[in-house]
Chains A and B, each alone.
Chain A
Amino acid sequence: DVKVTQSSRYLVKRTGEKVFLECVQDMDHENMFWYRQDPGLGLRLIYFSYDVKMKEKGDIPEGYSVSREKKERFSLILESASTNQTSMYLCASSDGGSTENEQFFGPGTRLTVL
């Protein structure tokens, strides 16, 4: 089974803090994704990556950056957290060699910025 893990289930940070969210997958997937999910807005793609050291902006990249130094790990960085970044953050991965490209999600990190 594909396993995607995220470093924290719940996180509380203060406005202006730098926040790191870590995601690790154990299935050698090329593709990794960061989403945020808010009531009424659905899943929104922040950034994604097709390969090590490669990143592409999703639909809402402002206020975020990412890092992918190793294939299995994809980090989301909030350079200066703001209250409007309070949300559920979901990491996903998929097999780049697969034509179907199903995405598998981690358990999520619920971030609260005070």
Chain B
Amino acid sequence: QKEVEQNSGPLSVPEGAIASLNCTYSDRVSQSFFWYRQYSGKSPELIMSIYSNGDKEDGRFTAQLNKASQYVSLLIRDSQPSDSATYLCAVRVRGNNRLAFGKGNQVVVIP
């Protein structure tokens, strides 16, 4: 099993709708979880971090963590065309400072 999996294909959402992205991880004792946004041709940009079970909100973004089920999700409310990007899920690897990254999910917001 891969350390971090993002299985959904490209996600198309109409402007103003909610985009929902999911990520599962294999190491039960992982403690730190991150969402990065990457525009085409650019480098990843950290947009959310979460460490405790539950929800964490920052503007139009909400990260949700469920350690029992080993998944972390990202909700983008009131999606805007500027949200069109690839979103990478990352999990801190146990015992060191490495992050394991998922392959990313592409989001396309349709005006």
Contact = CB atoms under 8 A, between A and B. Distances in A.
Contacts of A96: 97
B87 interface: no
A15 interface: no
Interface residues of A, number: 23
Contacts of A103: 34, 46, 90, 99
A100 B51 contact: yes
Nearest to B34: A102
A108 B18 CA distance: 30
A90 B88 CA distance: 14
Contact of A105 (B45, B49, B103): B45
A31 interface: yes
Interface string B21-45: 0000000000110101000001111
Nearest to A100: B32
Interface string A97-114: 001111111111000000
B98 interface: yes
Contacts of B92: 100-101
Interface residues of B, number: 21
Given A50-B97, A94-B97, A43 B32 contact: no
Nearest to B88: A43
Nearest to B99: A103
25 contacts: A31-B97, A33-B98, A40-B103, A42-B101, A42-B103, A42-B104, A43-B88, A43-B101, A45-B98, A48-B98, A50-B97, A96-B97, A99-B31, A100-B51, A101-B92, A101-B97, A101-B99, A102-B46, A102-B49, A103-B46, A103-B99, A105-B43, A105-B44, A107-B42, A108-B43
Given A42-B102, A108-B42, 12 more contacts: A33-B98, A40-B103, A42-B104, A50-B97, A99-B32, A100-B51, A101-B32, A101-B97, A101-B99, A102-B49, A105-B36, A105-B43
Interface of B: 31-32, 34, 36, 42-46, 49, 51, 88, 90, 92, 97-99, 101-104
